[in-house]
Amino acid sequence: MADKSPFKVRYGSWGIVAGASEGIGATYAEELAARGLNLILIARRAELLQSLASKLSERYKIETKIITLDLADPNAVEQITETTKELEVGLLVYNAAFSAIGPFLERPLKDHIKEVNINAFTPLKLVYFFAEQMLARGRGGILLMSSLSAFQGSAYISTYAATKAFNIVLAEGLWEEWRQRGVDVLVCVSGAVKTPNYVASEPEQTGGLGDMTMTPDQVVGEALKALGKGPYVIPGRINRFSSFVMRHLLSRKVAVKLMGGILRGMYVK
């Protein structure tokens, strides 16, 4: 019997997770599969994608497709749209990101451009393509990942934070444009999350406030719960509180300096 769960009716029958092979992305994939969506899983590492796809199709009786590509590639979106042209894509989750950590000029220009490509240019193109179909159907969802670093300038990850600010402002604007046309747009503005990528970045500390890192399960759970309820979500009570202080109680200049101090402590050895 067909699964008529409200989530599947609103966001099915296929969901895309761009950046699905591990961590937050793999958790999105599992949670969407549990809600009955068929999945298109995208990342660079084929073996990880294949084993995730096999596990999810067996466990949740869904269909899966994997697309192995680099989202920095200028042809990435064309490859994705070609593979999905026969499918009804009702949900797009753009999770992949690239972060070039370190003093701005100590990273080659190509790294900054890669951040813009993976974090802003490719999601913009995917949103443009899939939103058109969703609006024509009068239903669907788009979920973009952003970061608390994007609420103000963030030293040592300046370009990354700027690309993530692009996602916040883009999602908010589109939420307002489409909220009465059946398409839900959400940006998840996350604090630190224990993912393989985050651990590999070897952060020294998180600003003397103890371990504030969340798990992918917590972040994804809060994001999916918020989808359809408003333009953005900040997972975690401590993150909501600290971002309230940073944005509403401190001057922007102080917030930028404070964030710079935290990041210097974490990453400038």
Ligand X SMILES: NC(=O)c1ccc[n+]([C@@H]2O[C@H](COP(=O)([O-])OP(=O)(O)OC[C@H]3O[C@@H](n4cnc5c(N)ncnc54)[C@H](OP(=O)(O)O)[C@@H]3O)[C@@H](O)[C@H]2O)c1
Q: Taking CB under 6 A as the rule, does residue 121 contact ligand X?
A: no
For ligand X, the binding residues in 33-72 under the rule CB under 6 A are 43-45, 48, 70-72
For ligand X, the binding residues in 74-113 under the rule CB under 6 A are 95-98
Least distance CB 254 / ligand X (angstroms): 22
Least distance CB 4 / ligand X (angstroms): 30
Q: Among all residues, whose Cβ is closest to ligand X?
A: 23
Least distance CB 103 / ligand X (angstroms): 20
The single residue of 60, 160, 232, 267 carrying the catalytic annotation is 160
Amino acid at 176: E
- Contact with ligand X (CB under 6 A) among 7, 8, 16, 23: 23
160 tagged catalytic: yes
CA–CA distance, 264 with 102 (Å, rounded to integer): 9
Q: Taking CB under 6 A as the rule, does residue 246 contact ligand X?
A: no
Positions touching ligand X (CB under 6 A) are 19-25, 43-45, 48, 70-72, 95-98, 118, 145, 147, 190, 192-193, 195-198
Active site residues: 160
